Chain A
Amino acid sequence: MDPLALALIELGAVVFALGLLARLAGRISMSPIPLYLLGGLIFGAGGLVDLSGVREFSHLAGEIGVILLLLLLGLEYTAKELFTGLRRSWQAGVVDAILNLAPGVGIALLLGWGPIGAIVLGGVTYVSSSGIVAKVITDLGRLGNRETPTILSILVFEDLAMAIYLPILTATLAGVSWFGGLQTVAISLAVITVVLVVALRFGNQVSRAVHSENSEVFLLNVMGLALLVAGLASAMQVSAAVGAFMLGIAISGTTAHLASRLLEPLRDLFAAIFFVAFGLNTDPRSIPPVLGWALLLAVVTSLTKIGTGWWAAARAGIGIPGRARAGVQLIPRGEFSIVIAGLAVTSGAVSSDLAALATTYVLLMAVIGPLGARFVDPAMRSIQSLRRSRSARKEATAPIP
């Protein structure tokens, strides 16, 4: 068959299958990300069907997916929110980083993946999925809850931390020397500061520059600018994703709102292809050997996130059930973990087992997290009533003086 025809048929089949998976995910009200990854595993190398025609396209489309994911994340925040969030939650953010980087780093070193593997796996276990967490909060009607601002400001901190972590990761993966690494970090810190200041002071001008009443012009403006900025950032080794994130922050107000509404369908399409592409490149046969480690990592990093949320919520003066909710709602890992693992795998600087471990880990966490969030309230209630009845029994059996 003509290779173009073959590629179109394969791509169509994959996208159609993704639609079915997304519908299934919606029906059981869970995030579609784990299903996309599973889909990729099934279609990919060593899976049931081997699709080679779409490999090239899915690679570039996946990159665009990452850029769009980060651009829309940036569009959701205003620079002011980032500043206040940072001021309010930096302690919680630091605790979160230490507690959740550690398990990934530890296991990578234990498996002998070296310092690069440690940086990668640490990042994978560190970042919660802001997409999944936000969805869980709205689905369960917890937006008005008192612990929600605590959760959201930890997510803000993580997203900003990514703007520093991703350039470090890109530089390390590219095999840049210590000095060169420091240089990229310095560049990215300078870029972040400049962008935040520009966004605070001249946010309106930036927004006006891309804005247009014509939605076609507007779409092309924003999309073109995003790819340009991402490409330039990538050339400076500051990571394409971070460039897109910063552009998103710089655009604000109604323009940001309109842009995210316009780009959302594009993001959904390209991000889905990104997750599938990641799954496509992972051999399902490499999963069973790392399954035990993934389970261990899942248990440990669930506990560390619960600890983080519990501590942060307690500091904000929230009661015990709220602390439990805050902790459990931080558990999901998703798009960021896959972005990090994806960067590492494409660079070829890490063992292929890492991709398998990251996939399995995200599959577990993206399912455990939302489920846990749903059951944390009834669980806490039954624990409390158990305690109450036990203390009541104690009182009853106590001898009357």
Chain B
Amino acid sequence: MNVEETELPGFGVRKDFMTQSGRRIGVVTHRDGETELIISTWDDPDSCQASIPLTGDEATALGNLLGSQRIVMQLTEEHKEVPGIVTRQFTILPDSPYRDQPMGRASIRTRTGVSIVAIMREGEVVPSPGPDVVLRRGDLVVAVGTEEGLEQTATILRNG
């Protein structure tokens, strides 16, 4: 992937790349740390259809969503052979009882048979997290298990 980095004197930096579908997508990082998501128009790849200002939290959330998508796709690909096994992701909401708690306290594997294979946090992956990894608000938990077990996991993470 060829990400182009261009200085914008007086403003900051633009980093973008061309997608296969022929649109330019990227971010403009302002000098004061503000981030803007930019997407080019259909007919004129030089101009922008949208430039959306993102707060730090929003940028992290978007990064997690996009990053986790790949992991989920990979895992789904790997488990295709095993019937009945599904991959799913859950967000740790601000009111989750396990927020700021070590993951082991939820004892998900014992209660539902589901294994948590990764946590996406601030655009980075925590692979096969141990029971003492503390869950944070906004974390994306990637879990593998049966459809039923995953339903239970969702309930546990939301309501305890």
Contacts and interface: CB of A to CB of B under 8 A. Distances in A.
Bound together: yes
B8 interface: yes
B89 to A, nearest CB: 30
Interface string B25-44: 01010011000101010001
B47 A156 contact: no
A319 B45 CA distance: 8
B46 interface: yes
B9 A144 contact: no
B7 A149 contact: yes
Nearest to B16: A144
Looking at B14, B38, B46, B50, which has the most chain A CB atoms within 10 Å of its CB? B46
B73 interface: no
Nearest to A85: B9
**Chief secondary structure at chain B's binding surface:** strand
A336 B106 CA distance: 65
A325 interface: yes
Contacts of A130: 10
Contacts of A321: 44, 46-47
A319 B46 CA distance: 7
Given A134-B10, A322-B47, A144 B32 contact: no
Looking at A145, A147, A319, A321, which has the most chain B CB atoms within 10 Å of its CB? A145
A143 B51 contact: yes
**Chief secondary structure at chain A's binding surface:** helix
Interface stretch (A76-84, A112-120, A362-370): A76-84
B32 A148 contact: no
Interface in B32-71: 32, 36, 38, 40, 44-48, 50-51
B74 interface: no
Interface residues of B, number: 23
Interface string B1-25: 0000011111100101000000010
B7 A144 contact: no
Nearest to A145: B47
B23 to A, nearest CB: 12
B26 A144 contact: yes
A321 B43 CA distance: 10
Contact of A141 (B16, B26, B40, B51): B51
B13 to A, nearest CB: 10
B61 to A, nearest CB: 20
Nearest to A147: B46
Contact of A84 (B7, B11, B40, B45): B7
Looking at A84, A146, A155, A318, which has the most chain B CB atoms within 10 Å of its CB? A146
Given A149-B14, A257-B32, A142 B9 contact: no
A76 B32 CA distance: 11
A377 B46 CA distance: 12
Interface string A82-126: 101100000000000000000000000000000000000000000
A149 B7 CA distance: 7
A69 to B, nearest CB: 14
B47 A325 contact: yes
Contacts, number: 73
B47 A143 contact: no
A153 interface: yes
A318 B46 CA distance: 7
A84 B51 CA distance: 26
A219 interface: no
B47 A377 contact: yes
Contact of A322 (B28, B32, B46): B46
Contacts of A153: 9
Contacts of A76: 9-10
B9 A77 contact: yes
A143 B8 contact: yes
Interface string A141-178: 11111111100110110000000000000000000000
Contacts of B11: 134, 143, 152
Contacts of B26: 144
Looking at A85, A142, A143, A147, which has the most chain B CB atoms within 10 Å of its CB? A143
B28 to A, nearest CB: 5
Nearest to B48: A144
Nearest to B11: A143
A322 B26 CA distance: 18
Contacts of B7: 81, 84-85, 149
A155 B7 CA distance: 14
Given A144-B28, A144-B36, A152 B47 contact: no
19 contacts: A76-B9, A85-B7, A85-B9, A134-B11, A141-B51, A143-B28, A144-B14, A145-B47, A145-B48, A146-B45, A148-B14, A152-B11, A153-B9, A155-B9, A257-B31, A319-B45, A322-B47, A325-B46, A377-B47
Given A77-B9, A148-B14, 5 more contacts: A143-B28, A144-B28, A146-B24, A257-B31, A257-B32
Interface of A: 76-77, 81-82, 84-85, 130, 134, 141-149, 152-153, 155-156, 257, 318-319, 321-322, 325, 377
